[in-house]
């Protein structure tokens, strides 16, 4: 699943006229990079949640045939359901097996075929803390992710593998974030993780977008 329903407020005025996942970086838009990486990793059934300027995303990507994938859309109202609510809303499209979720506003060279089925409820990809988020999100210790205060903290990349059971008891059609769900599962040691040291960008500002564009200029990626 690719999370693509947000308004992209931090990229205004660019996102006043286009949804953030369609912002161009190099030869592709952000969401097309995700689709390309997923397809190369053998994942060809992809759910995309949409809300803000949703028709632009559907018109550009279509059914996914030209990317050699099959795209499914989980449509949300104008006030989108956030990360947690968006995943719960899409569960009927995601099936009863573990699934990958990627934030639509990141760029990474992570290879999704490296992911394996989580032994517990969730498996998170963590990265080094970027300059805009020096305090990080979670602690990684012996492959277990926790929200404890002591220890080296890493930043959640926005990439995770989840079992549907993680969202048991949550009602579709409501707006709520993913983080509290993960933190609750961490309390019973149900979240594993790994530290990824490859390229990863959170496209949360015009400056960071320009930095990524410059990084990709003339590259062979």
- What are the sequence ranges of the domains in the chain? 2-216
DSSP letter for 184, please. H
Between 146 and 205, residue with greater pLDDT: 146
Cis previous bond, 13, omega within 30: yes
Question: Among 71-75, 92-96, 203-207, whose mean pLDDT is lowest?
Answer: 203-207
Average pLDDT of span 160-178:
95
* Residues 56-87 pLDDT 10s: 999 999 999 999 999 999 999 988 899 999 99
The model's confidence at residue 199, banded by pLDDT at 50, 70 and 90, is: very high
Across all residues in the chain, what is the average pLDDT?
90
pLDDT above 70 covers what percent of the chain?
A: 96
Whole-prediction pTM value?
0.92
d(CA 76, CA 215): 34
d(CA 34, CA 38): 6
CATH (residue range 2-216): 3.90.550.10
Which token pair is 169? 């008891």
Q: What pLDDT was estimated at residue 35?
A: 97
d(CA 135, CA 129): 7
Q: What pLDDT was estimated at residue 93?
A: 97
Question: Among 18-22, 37-41, 98-102, whose mean pLDDT is lowest?
Answer: 18-22
d(CA 104, CA 32): 10
Average pLDDT of span 15-22:
84
Average pLDDT of span 119-138:
91
Crossing angle (nearest 10°) for helices 179-186 and 82-94: 80
């Amino acid at each position: 699943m690719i999370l693509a329903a947000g308004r992209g407020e931090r990229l205004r005025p660019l996102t006043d006229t286009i949804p953030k996942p369609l912002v161009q970086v190099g030869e592709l838009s952000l969401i097309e990079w995700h689709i390309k990486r997923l397809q190369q990793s053998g994942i060809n059934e992809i759910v995309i949640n949409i809300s803000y300027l949703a028709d632009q995303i559907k018109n550009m990507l279509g059914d996914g045939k030209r990317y050699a994938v099959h795209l499914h859309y989980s449509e949300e109202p104008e006030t989108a359901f956030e990360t947690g609510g968006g995943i719960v809303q899409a569960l009927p499209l995601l099936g009863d097996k573990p699934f990958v979720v990627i934030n639509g506003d990141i760029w990474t060279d992570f290879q999704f075929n490296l992911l394996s089925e989580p032994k517990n409820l969730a498996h998170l990809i963590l990265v080094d803390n970027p300059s805009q988020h020096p305090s990080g999100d979670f602690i990684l210790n012996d492959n277990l992710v926790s929200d404890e205060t002591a220890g080296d903290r890493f930043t959640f990349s926005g990439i995770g593998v989840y079992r549907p059971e993680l969202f048991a008891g949550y009602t579709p059609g409501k707006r709520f974030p993913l983080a509290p769900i993960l933190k609750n599962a961490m309390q019973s040691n149900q979240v594993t993780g790994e530290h990824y040291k490859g390229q990863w960008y959170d496209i949360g500002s015009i400056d960071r977008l320009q930095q990524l564009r410059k990084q990709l200029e003339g590259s062979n990626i």
